[in-house]
Amino acid sequence: MLKIYNSLTREKQEFKPIRSGEARMYVCGLTVYDYVHLGHARMLTVFDVVQRHLRALGYQLTYVRNITDIDDKIIERAALNGESWRELAQRFILAMNEDCAKLGLQRPDQEPRATDYIAEIIDMTQTLIAKGYAYPAASGDVNYSVRKFAQYGQLSGKKIDDLIVGSRVQVDDSKLDPLDFVLWKRAKPGEPSWPSPWGEGRPGWHIECSAMSVRLLGEHFDLHGGGMDLQFPHHENEIAQSCAACDSPFVNVWMHNGFVRLNDEKMSKSLGNFFTVREVLKTLRDPEVLRFFLLGSHYRGPINYSAAQLAQADETLLGLYRALQDAHDAGVCKAEWMAEFRAAMNDDFNTPEALAVMQAVARALNSAKEAGDKSAVAEAAASLRAMGLSLGILQQDPSEYSKRGVGATLTDAAIEVLMQARREARSVKNFLESDRIRNELSTSGILLDDKPGGVTEWRRA
């Protein structure tokens, strides 16, 4: 029985899907104006593990993770670089896909982009105005009136008046209440915009998730996830929009992952103390070390990032690979171990506990090797591999992995991912990006040879 901590009810609950055997999950993805940083990597990895486990339990899962491809920061950054917002967003979507592949993340079933859902967003905004929840303001924006939604504050557990006192809300005279938020933003001169009943403009951030989740998963679905910092106001506002527009409960279970901390401070762009995944991966034996490190803490708590912690993760993971080395795996797992592993994962995705089970199996595997007990070796190796698969680790060739030094060459799979990203970049004539990928590969000792007919071959230097 799977139990999940629900941020809305503040307790661990048995997961009961709305439709028997199915699960529908929406996760708030990235705003694409820069490279993926460690905080993003954690969120992405947490929900990748959630989706793997739901599928392993046999649920027919639909996993949607959105891409915010229009927003103030994208517009500002593009203007600064002298490129169009579309080019900038496309560039960082490609970069995100590369980083995700290196971290062993499976692609969600759908990755909707906000600007592909402008009609749905306008539709929902019109519904909210018609039902009296939203109003066109003197500023030209359309705002949501939080006081009209009686349950506002249910997710963050706060009353509107407390929220107003506690938040530093920008003063905007055209808002009826300081907490009212923008559904549709009037375009300033020169900004990208779309026509709407309220003039040229673009969507606010919150409405895109409501409009896209309703469109892709329906008015009432099982799971909604994101980083803890999105709980208020983003997810509170999503609830206000979707419940009011659809007269429906919206989401059953809200899941939030904790922060990555650096020297006990939250790691974030705004504080300037963040690392990109690219920077971190350069220091590692293999990207899998970062994934392993992220899984070493329970998703709801904070993770403290340090080079020492990463080195520890590297050593432990290497130990698991070494245990698998020269261990013949007949494919039959030990039921008792698998049950222990599954119980840990069923307890609100307790990955540290699951990794502890794996370490115990690795110890048993090493002892069986020493004792020359071939059937025990095979059973332990198969179990360890199977557990690794459901966490997205331990699937590489153990002897190759063990030989690899820190900062050494990429795996074949990672090279293929980069090659695919380069083909995609070339197909849209983004030669800056395709050259960047060629350089990245070359610094890892991978040389490319572009053949006639668009075929590219690679070889290790």
The residues that touch Zn ion, with contacts defined as CB under 5 A, are 28, 209
Min dist CB 315 to Zn ion, Å, is 37
Among 141, 22, 166, 47, which Cα is nearest to 100's? Answer: 47
What backbone torsions phi and psi does residue 62 show, to the nearest 5 degrees? -115, 115
Q: Distance of alpha carbon 78 from its chain centroid, rounded?
A: 24
DSSP-H helix ranges across 9-117: 38-56, 72-81, 85-102
Residue 123: name the closest of 212, 200, 28, 193 by CA.
212
- CB burial of residue 439 (10 Å; 0-12, 13-18, 19+): exposed
28 versus 183: smaller Cβ distance to Zn ion: 28
Closer of 62 and 383 to Zn ion (Cβ) = 62
Rounded least distance, CB 87 to Zn ion, Å: 24
Q: How far is the CB of 26 from Zn ion (least distance, A)?
A: 8
User: What's the closest the beta carbon of residue 237 comes to Zn ion, in angstroms?
Assistant: 9
**Which residues on adjacent β-strands are paired with residue 459?**
447
| Alpha carbons 399 and 403: distance in angstroms, whole number | 6
DSSP class per residue in 214-269: HHHH-SEEEEEEEEGGGIIIIIHHHHHHHHHHHTS-EEEEEEEE--EEETTEE--T
Residue reference for tokens 């509170």: 236
Q: Which is nearer to Zn ion, 89 or 289 (CB)?
A: 89
| Least spacing, CB of residue 68 vs Zn ion, in Å | 8
Q: Nearer to Zn ion by C-beta: 47 or 292? A: 47
CB of 343 to Zn ion, least distance (A): 32
- In the complex, the smallest distance separating the C-beta of residue 10 from Zn ion, rounded to whole angstroms, is 21
Question: Which of residues 27 and 364 has its CB atom nearest to Zn ion in the complex?
Answer: 27
Q: Other CB atoms closer than 10 Å to residue 394's CB: what's the count?
A: 22
Nearer to Zn ion, 104 or 204 (CB): 204
**Contact (Cβ atoms closer than 8 angstroms) between residue 320 and residue 359:** yes
Q: How many residues comprise the chain?
A: 461
